Amino acid sequence: MSMYKISSNLTMINQLDIQIIADGLTVSNQGAIAYIDFEIIGMPLSKTILSLDFFNCNEITDSGGFGYGNSSYDTLIISIDHSCDIINDQKIGLDDALFILDVLPNNNLKNELICQPSLNSAIRTLQIISGFMFNIEKKIPQKRIVNKKIADISKKEGDIFTVPVIIDQATYIDSVTMKISFDESVVDAKSITTAGGILEHFDCQYNLAKDNSAILIIYTDQHTYFGSGSIAFITFEIKDIKKSDTDIIFTEFTCNEKMIQGGFQIDNNTYDIIHLRPIQSYTITASSNGYGTITPNGIVHIDESSDMNLFFEPNDRFQIKDVLINGQSFGNISSYSLTNIQQNYDFFVRFSLIPQLLVTSPIHHIQTHEDADDLILDLSKWAQVVYSNETHAITQTIISNSNPDIVQAILDQQKLILHLQPEQSGAAHIQLMGESDCCAPVFEDFTITVMPVNDPPKISSVPTQTINEGQSIESISLTITDIDSPTDNIRLWATSSNPEVIPAQMPNIVFNQSEMNHQMIITPVYPGYGDVTLTVFASDGQDQSSISFLVSIRHVEYTIRAIVGQNGKIGRSIRGNVSDNDGIPISECLLSLWGKKLEQTIYATTDSNGDYTFSHLPTANLLAITAWPSSGSNYLKKDYCETDKDFCLSTIDNDIDNLN
């Protein structure tokens, strides 16, 4: 290409610019087009990167590079070792090694040489001329095998992120060389640092100017490092991720000029490739049936891999019944956290009224009277759990009873029994509590008022009384009680089923009152007999009560047999007092008279004075009288003179007394 003109700029820092322009006809060929001479000025064991950042032919990127051996390379890693072209003939040879060994003892001569002779430089020089090592090598003589462990990362335009580079296996480290490839129109490497890594004290050289790649070499001329971990940190900037997805690829990675296991470290994992794609936007939809708030609410657009917290709060008297996330029930949670969002989410919160235990059928206040039966109240519907579709058991408890002397409150299988104490009145305040497993307990205070009732006096029973005609009952004991009134205020009276025998008035019935014990005196009409039912009444001025008992008055019958002589007169009335002397009246006597020609039986009647009148007596010469009680078996027989009938009759009384 001798007909071409070369224009070069060698004054630029760390780079040079070469243009080759035709001054005549163009040539179609391939091969070396220029030769660049470099001078090594670095210290032994230092390294540098020689890279062809861009190579255009006719303004079009073409293939080419640095020629080395029979291949071309876009990058060369220059390593400076201890070898020395000490005789300065632009080559390393045996003469250089021998000269180094010769001048080693001469310290004065060392200062005038282009390189410092040393035993290391002599050995290195001999290694080079023997073909054991080279002082210039291409970056990586062997191709890196990419395991295609890919990390998927989403980013948006303008994002800046840093990725650590890690050596996975513990090893001795003298130097590390790496090359990373990417699409510079989408993502660009902004910086590389070893600060914070295991090799931060090593020397570092990198090239970020080369299109679509970044090259890094780390080396030391001191002691090697043994270990593993992060060795560098590369910062990238997203330019235009909207165009397409792109990859950052770890194409070359060597340690001590040998391939080593390692790569990008993301979330404690090692990857060969970072796949970058635009951030996906997802939709978070939050809604409810009302009765509460959701934060945030409505439709929210959020980038993938983002985190989001949602909070659910019910209104007063409401609760969170259920939270549905993409149709799946999560129960009554009050918040939910989304992390590393990779999909759309739909939240629906169902609020409901808080189940409440309410007194739905209150007892209120009760009024009754002291003689009423026990009150039995059904509590099965007294309290109910509302705003709940579930069945909840409810238990009742009597918390307090202010006056158990008036009423006793008893719970028995969903029933409240109010047992009234006998003859007690007043008010009792009762508190009832209902409990359930879902809700707060409920209470009801109610009052039961027991009104007083006037009870009539009570009269003790009286057995049947049996007496003979003409007798009195001088004392019947009556016990009168009245819980509401003093007994001395009790008024007593009686009625008779046969007032002709026992009139219901004084003096036939007389009451003698003395506190609770009263005496009743009964005097029947004489003569008179039969069964009489007496009903005794007692009144306290408001109410009355009564008892009845039977008085049986026996009729006493006497038979008088008389034999009347010829001087007796039929139809003659005979009057005589035949009442006995011991107070036991004879209610009726039978008088029998026999004459010579006539035998006749007649009856005697008695008046209020107890005198008997005999009528229709037959005529007889001889009067014989026999008398006995009608209810008895004893009798008296006596013969009297024929003519003095009055005398005979007048003596009957004494004889009957003896008979009784």
Give me the mean pLDDT over the 353-376 stretch.
92
More confident residue, 473 or 60: 473
- Among the candidates 353, 377, 395, a domain finishes at 353
The domain that holds 527 is classified in CATH as 2.60.40.10
Burial (CB < 10 A; 0-12, 13-18, 19+), residue 12, is: exposed
**Residue 231 included in any domain:** no
Give me the mean pLDDT over the 24-37 stretch.
69
Give 623's contacts (C-beta < 8 A, 6+ positions apart).
562, 563, 564, 565, 568, 593, 639, 640, 641, 642, 645, 648
- Note the pLDDT tens digit of each residue in 457-494: 999 999 999 999 889 998 899 998 888 778 778 889 99
Distance of CA 584 to the CA centre of its chain: 92
76 pLDDT above the threshold of 60: yes
- Among the candidates 527, 553, 579, a domain finishes at 553
Express as a percent the part of the chain with pLDDT over 70: 65
281 φψ region: left (φ > 0), alpha (ψ -120 to 50), beta (else): beta
More confident residue, 158 or 115: 158
The answer to whether residues 491 and 542 belong to one domain is yes
- Note the pLDDT tens digit of each residue in 303-321: 888 999 999 999 998 999 9
**pLDDT confidence of residue 1:** 52
The answer to whether residues 545 and 587 belong to one domain is no
Rounded to whole angstroms, how far apart are CA atoms 512 and 480?
A: 12
- Note the pLDDT tens digit of each residue in 161-220: 999 999 988 999 988 988 999 988 889 999 999 999 999 888 888 888 777 888 888 887
The first and second tokens of residue 117, run together, are 């002779």
More confident residue, 375 or 594: 375
335 pLDDT above the threshold of 60: yes
The answer to whether residues 383 and 406 belong to one domain is yes
pLDDT band at 50 (very low <50, low <70, confident <90, very high): confident
Mean of per-residue pLDDT scores for the chain: 77
507 pLDDT above the threshold of 50: yes
- What's this model's pTM, rounded to 2 decimal places? 0.42
More confident residue, 18 or 311: 311
The answer to whether residues 341 and 396 belong to one domain is no
**Residue 12 included in any domain:** yes
- Among the candidates 451, 486, 503, a domain finishes at 451
Give me the mean pLDDT over the 516-521 stretch.
86
Element (H, E) at 124: helix 119-129
**Residue 594 included in any domain:** yes
**pLDDT confidence of residue 596:** 33
**Which range (22-36, 333-347, 534-548, 560-574) has the least confidence?**
560-574
**pLDDT confidence of residue 285:** 97
**pLDDT confidence of residue 191:** 92
**pLDDT confidence of residue 72:** 72
Q: The domain containing residue 475 runs over which residues?
A: 458-553
Classified as helix, coil or strand, 446 is strand
Give me the mean pLDDT over the 410-437 stretch.
93
376 pLDDT above the threshold of 90: yes
Q: How many structural domains are present in the chain?
A: 6
Sheet holding 262-266, edge to edge: 187-193, 225-238, 160-173, 262-266, 269-271
141: preceding bond cis by omega (within 30 degrees): no
**Residue 235 included in any domain:** no
- Note the pLDDT tens digit of each residue in 261-304: 889 999 889 999 999 888 888 999 999 999 999 999 999 999 88
**Residue 76 included in any domain:** no
**pLDDT confidence of residue 629:** 42
Classified as helix, coil or strand, 386 is strand
**Residue 56 included in any domain:** yes
The answer to whether residues 395 and 344 belong to one domain is no
Q: What beta strand segments (E) does 82-212 contain?
A: 136-138, 150-155, 160-173, 175-181, 187-193, 203-207
